[in-house]
C-alpha cells in the first residue's frame, strides 16, 4: 500500500513538471520576432466614432376624431344604411346543401336542362364526379351565394360576403358554361 502511494506521488510530480515545461519560452522566439515586426510596420488606424442615434419620438393618439390604427375601422352611417338596403342577409340557421361546402371557383357549369319555363343548371364540383341540378333561388358556394338567373350559357349568382369594414356586402358572380365538360 505504501509503495502504491509513493508511485502515485512520483507520477503526479512528473505530470506537473511535464506540464510546466510546456509553458517555457523555448521555441517561440520566431513568433515573438514576427509580432514585434507587425507592431513596427502597422500603423493603427483611427476608428470613426459611431453615428449619433436619433431619439425616437412616439406619436400619441390624442385626437378622438382620429381612428386608432390597431382597431378595426368603424362602419359609417352611410355604410350602415347601405347594409340595411341589402335584399337579404345570410341565414345561419338554414340547412346548407352539398354545393355550399365549396367555393364557386371550384365548381363548373356543365349543362342546362329546361323543364317548361324553368331552367335547371347542371353544376359539377371539382372534387367529385357528381353533377348537381340547381334552379333559380338555390344556394351555392361558401359565401352565401344565391342563384339569381340561369341562361343557356351563364349562371348569375349573388354572394353575401363580409367586407373589410365587417359589414355584409353583395358580390355578383357569373359561372360560364364549360364547353369542354359537355
Could you state, in order of their start, the residue ranges of all structural domains in the chain? 99-181
For residue range 30-86, list pLDDT tens digits in order.
888 888 888 888 877 788 888 998 888 887 767 667 677 677 666 666 665 555 556
Q: Note the pLDDT of residue 46.
A: 82
Q: Note the pLDDT of residue 74.
A: 65
CB atoms within 10 A of CB 109: 21
More confident residue, 24 or 178: 178
Average pLDDT (149-175) is: 88
CATH of domain 99-181: 2.30.30.830
Q: Note the pLDDT of residue 86.
A: 61
What 109-113 contacts at long range (C-beta under 8 Å, 24+ apart), as own/partner pairs, is 109/154, 109/155, 109/175, 109/176, 109/177, 109/178, 110/177, 110/178, 110/181, 110/182, 111/177, 111/181, 111/182, 112/150, 112/152, 112/177
Amino acid at each position: 500500500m505504501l509503495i502504491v502511494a509513493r508511485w502515485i506521488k512520483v507520477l503526479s510530480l512528473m505530470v506537473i513538471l511535464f506540464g510546466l515545461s510546456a509553458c517555457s519560452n523555448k521555441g517561440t522566439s520566431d513568433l515573438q520576432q514576427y509580432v514585434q515586426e507587425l507592431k513596427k510596420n502597422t500603423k493603427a488606424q483611427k476608428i470613426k466614432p459611431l453615428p449619433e442615434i436619433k431619439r425616437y419620438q412616439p406619436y400619441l393618439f390624442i385626437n378622438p376624431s382620429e381612428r386608432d390604427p390597431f382597431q378595426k375601422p368603424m362602419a359609417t352611417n352611410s355604410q350602415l344604411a347601405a347594409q340595411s338596403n341589402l335584399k337579404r342577409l345570410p341565414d345561419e340557421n338554414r340547412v346548407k346543401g352539398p354545393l355550399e361546402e365549396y367555393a364557386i371557383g371550384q365548381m363548373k357549369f356543365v349543362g342546362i336542362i329546361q323543364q317548361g319555363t324553368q331552367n335547371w343548371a347542371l353544376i359539377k364540383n371539382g372534387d367529385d364526379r357528381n353533377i348537381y341540378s340547381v334552379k333559380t333561388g338555390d344556394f351555392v358556394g361558401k359565401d352565401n351565394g344565391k342563384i339569381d338567373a340561369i341562361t343557356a350559357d351563364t349562371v348569375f349568382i349573388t354572394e353575401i360576403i363580409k367586407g373589410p369594414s365587417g359589414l355584409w356586402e353583395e358580390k355578383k358572380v357569373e359561372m360560364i358554361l364549360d364547353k369542354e365538360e359537355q
